[in-house]
Structure 1
Amino acid sequence: MAQSSWEAHHEHVKEKGLLAKKLYVVLTKPAGDMEAVMENLQEHLKYQLELEANGSMFAAGPFADDEEQEWEGEGMVILRAESLAEARSMAENDPMHKSGARTFRLRPWMLNEGSITINITYSNGKRNIT
């Protein structure tokens, strides 16, 4: 399979009519024990809410272990950013990473396929996202 530059691939996908939404995925994991993660959890969540409020957060959440039994401190954050450098700055400023409680890997990602369904019931204000 011939390799292609990321930008060339992005253009190719757009030409095919797919979404081709550029995003950035932060894969985050504990640098050591869970104690440091738990000590920084509240500040981390506060930072996540700031990113959500300013529109930078696309999605975020923790990973379970492979047996879906335990949380080992790993998570994923998907960011909206104009560049890899901007996304890296956001990831570096996460209190989990600034404190050294977690390390991260940053990957450019292109959202092409999928769907989301939102149902809002007016009478009781309930919402359902699937």
Structure 2
Amino acid sequence: MTDDLTFDPDGDGRTLEDLLPDLRHVQLYLIRMAFPEPVASPIDHLRPHLRDHALWLRDQERTGTLFLSGPNRCDEEWDGSGTAIIRAGSLDHAREIAATEPFHRKGVRVNTVHGWQLSEGALRLSVNLFDNRFDLS
């Protein structure tokens, strides 16, 4: 039996104990935004408040609160839900921020907040200044 902290399957000499400090452990908060009950046409339910929601997202981005956000969508399948990952000082603070989101405030969707730590991954950003284009993948 091997010790999980010292097991080195890649043979690079680094154990799990060596690798753990490299994880980022950036504390963020995930806001899951969903309808309380399924609806036939999500966009029809959201449309009356969509401008307010977009302005809320813009404001959260401008203040540096919003990390990433978007619909929970796969191809054409979409139940009207979305996710926002935000920066906040605590879980309670994140809940306060989530409570200000217009769809939630007006009872259209329900927001639930969960702690989430960014530990690893790869972010690629390409900026073409002449063409005024960017690509994020």
- Structure 2 regions of 5+ residues with no counterpart? 1-16
Report the Cα distance in structure 2 between the residues aligned to 1:57 and 1:124, rounded to whole angstroms: 26
Say which structure, 1 or 2, has more relative contact order (CA 8 Å, 6+ apart).
1
Q: Which residue of 1 aligns with 2:4?
A: none
Give a deviation string over 1:69-90, Cα, whole Å, max 9, x none. Answer: 2322100000000111111011
What are the equivalent positions in structure 2 for 1:78-97 lying under 5 Å apart? 78-97=85-104
Superposed CA RMSD in Å reads 1.9
Return closer, same or farther for 1:36/1:122 CA change in 2, 3 Å cut-off.
Answer: closer
Q: Which residue of 1 aligns with 2:26?
A: 21
Q: Which residue of 1 aligns with 2:57?
A: 48
Aligned residues between the structures: 116
After TM superposition, the runs of 4+ consecutive aligned structure 1 residues lying more than 6 A away are none
- Structure 1 regions of 5+ residues with no counterpart? 1-11
Report deviation, 1:113.
0.7
Please give the TM-score of this superposition, normalised by the length of structure 2: 0.76
Report deviation, 1:116.
0.9
Please give the TM-score of this superposition, normalised by the length of structure 1: 0.80
**Percent of aligned pairs with the same residue?**
26
- Residue 48 of structure 1 aligns with an amino acid whose one-letter code is L
68-77 or 50-59, which deviates more: 68-77
